[in-house]
């Protein structure tokens, strides 16, 4: 069984583009601007023994403004730069009714099965509320990087940037952490305990 870091793509590994003040992901390799500061940070997590898995919503496929070929090329580049083990994609739109568009957990379940992931010893890093919600449902630690997209969601840790997130992970890892799910009639909550 492996420990994984699940990573949101846009805003963490690459920059958004802005169109009419609205953030949009790159739709072809020429539009991809990698966050180079993130490369050594993400690679260090790999060196620490985590399996690196990106899970991303890319509704541009369903909406018809992005081609699979271009998305594959973008992901090939991201895998090479960040030494990612895998990338899982939801290509659907909100109205498609799929089971994989975050905050649904479909792609995470697929990744857990494929890579034999010990989910309660894994971590989700994101700058969006959807991923924190997934973490809660899966009993997995969430680290949110502050952004305009975190809303008022429940999260475990909130940090200002990716460097702080990696620092937290190194601290937690030293304590051999795992997430415990504690349920009573009213609440489900998660604590970090010692393994």
| Contact positions vs Zn ion (CB under 5 A) | 90, 92, 98, 100-101
Which C-beta is closer to Zn ion: that of 73 or that of 98? 98
Least distance in Å: CB of 104 to Zn ion? Answer: 7
Least distance in Å: CB of 6 to Zn ion? Answer: 16
Which C-beta is closer to Zn ion: that of 96 or that of 167? 96
Which C-beta is closer to Zn ion: that of 78 or that of 89? 89
Q: Cα(16)–Cα(64) distance, rounded to whole angstroms?
A: 19
Q: Is 185 helix (H, G, I), strand (E, B) or coil?
A: coil
Least distance in Å: CB of 83 to Zn ion? Answer: 26
* Cα of 66 vs its chain's centroid, Å: 21
Could you say which DSSP state residue 146 is in?
P
Least distance in Å: CB of 101 to Zn ion? Answer: 4
Least distance in Å: CB of 184 to Zn ion? Answer: 33
β-pair partners for 18: 23
Which C-beta is closer to Zn ion: that of 23 or that of 59? 59
Which C-beta is closer to Zn ion: that of 83 or that of 98? 98
Q: Which residue minimizes CB distance to Zn ion?
A: 98
Q: Taking a C-beta distance cutoff of 8 angstroms, is the pair 78, 84 a contact?
A: yes
Least distance in Å: CB of 160 to Zn ion? Answer: 31
Q: Cα(63)–Cα(2) distance, rounded to whole angstroms?
A: 35
Which C-beta is closer to Zn ion: that of 9 or that of 92? 92
Q: Which residues of 104-114 are buried (b: 16+ CB within 10 A; e: fewer)?
A: bbbbbeebbee
Nearest to 120 by CA among 147, 139, 146: 139
């Amino acid at each position: 069984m492996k420990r994984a870091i699940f990573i949101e793509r846009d805003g963490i590994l690459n920059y958004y583009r802005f169109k009419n003040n609205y953030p949009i992901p790159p739709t072809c390799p020429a539009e991809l601007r990698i966050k180079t500061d993130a490369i050594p940070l993400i690679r260090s997590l790999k060196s620490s023994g985590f399996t690196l898995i990106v899970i991303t919503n890319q509704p541009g496929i369903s909406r018809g403004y992005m081609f699979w070929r271009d998305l594959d090329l973008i992901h090939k580049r991201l895998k090479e730069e960040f030494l990612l083990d895998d990338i899982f994609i939801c290509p659907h739109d909100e109205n498609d009714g799929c089971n994989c568009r975050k905050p649904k957990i479909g792609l995470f379940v697929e990744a857990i099965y494929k890579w034999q992931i010990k989910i309660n010893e894994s971590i989700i890093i994101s700058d969006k509320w959807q991923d924190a919600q997934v973490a809660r449902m899966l009993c997995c630690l969430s680290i949110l990087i502050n952004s305009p997209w975190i809303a008022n969601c429940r999260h475990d840790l909130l940090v200002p940037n990716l460097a702080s997130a990696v620092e937290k992970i190194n601290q937690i890892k030293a304590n051999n952490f795992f997430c415990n799910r504690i349920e009573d009639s009213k609440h489900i909550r998660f604590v970090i305990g010692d393994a």
